[in-house]
Amino acid sequence: MIRNQLDYFMYLTYTENDAIATIVFSRPKALNALCTAMLTELKALLEEIQHSETIKVVILTGEGKAFIAGADIAEMKGKTESEAMDFSKLGHSVMNLIENMPQPVIGALNGFTLGGGLEVALSCSFLLASDTARFSAPEVNLGLIPGFGGSQRLVRAIGLNNARYYLYTASMFNAEEAFRMGLIQGIFPGEELMDKAREIAKLIASKGPTAIKSLAPVINSGLSDGFEKGCETEQQMFASLFNSEAQEGMDAFLEKRKPRW
């Protein structure tokens, strides 16, 4: 077990079952708005999880009617330029950590996913949403732009012109539109969302663990360094797996049995 949530977390709820870690953003009176303390807690927790030998998948979700309804405006108001830079750097470090976790991170978007919440979602490996989820990048309404990587990841997730439209207009869109654009991979009734997320997490946890951990660096290499570098990284990772679990996986396939990872 990573930590006893009652002893450590103020804004997060943490559980761990069947090799699946579930992190719940738990600041419902503020619609789970991201403050410095919440980001710091999340960073510390993820840094522990990434070194775990037992946790195979992470699920992020929110308490109440929001996943995360943006950053904490009350905390941001009055920041100096230097303080705003520090806040942005903290947010970027957390989003990069989510994106580069060795364990896949499933975003289970249970409600409002706005601003900083959308940036958290965009950092996840893939996304599931309730049928009541709503999305927006509303920063220009405040005279701001995204500060945690949203301007870059939204383009990659939904395409250049779609991203431009939603960044410039701050328009809100629903789960059906998010699915149409490829932002989310499934829509479910709210009461079924977490069951479906756990079902998919268990499916992933049943696969070759080293292979699963190898996917994020391969995918991210291509995104950050270009197609050719990504292919080189893929070749290296592919070959290295022949010295680990691939032999067991292929033996199990040929022997028509489940692999013993």
Q: Averaged over 62-89, what is the pLDDT?
A: 97
* Cα 241 from Cα 246, distance rounded (Å): 6
Q: Which of 75, 139, 245, 255 is catalytic?
A: 139
Contact 208, 242 (CB under 8 A): no
Q: Averaged over 50-75, what is the pLDDT?
A: 97
Q: How many CA atoms lie within 13 A of 257 on its CB side?
A: 7
Confidence of residue 6 (pLDDT cuts 50, 70, 90): very low
Q: Which of 106, 63, 66, 136 is nearest to 202 (CA)?
A: 106
Residue 119 annotated as catalytic:
yes
Residue-wise pLDDT for 238-251, tens only, equals 999 999 899 999 99
What is the residue whose two structure tokens read 């080293």? 210
* Cα 32 from Cα 76, distance rounded (Å): 15
Report percent pLDDT > 70 for the chain.
97
48 exposed, middle or buried (CB, 10 Å; 0-12, 13-18, 19+)?
middle
Tell me the domain boundaries of the chain.
Answer: 5-205, 209-254
The count of other CB atoms within 10 Å of the CB of residue 17 is 10
Residue-wise pLDDT for 221-242, tens only, equals 999 999 999 999 999 999 999 9
Q: Which of 75, 119, 232, 234 is catalytic?
A: 119
- Residue 4 reports pLDDT greater than 80: no
Confidence of residue 2 (pLDDT cuts 50, 70, 90): low
- Residue 153 reports pLDDT greater than 90: yes
Confidence of residue 44 (pLDDT cuts 50, 70, 90): very high
Domain 5-205 architecture: Alpha-Beta Complex (3.90)
What pLDDT is recorded for position 33?
97
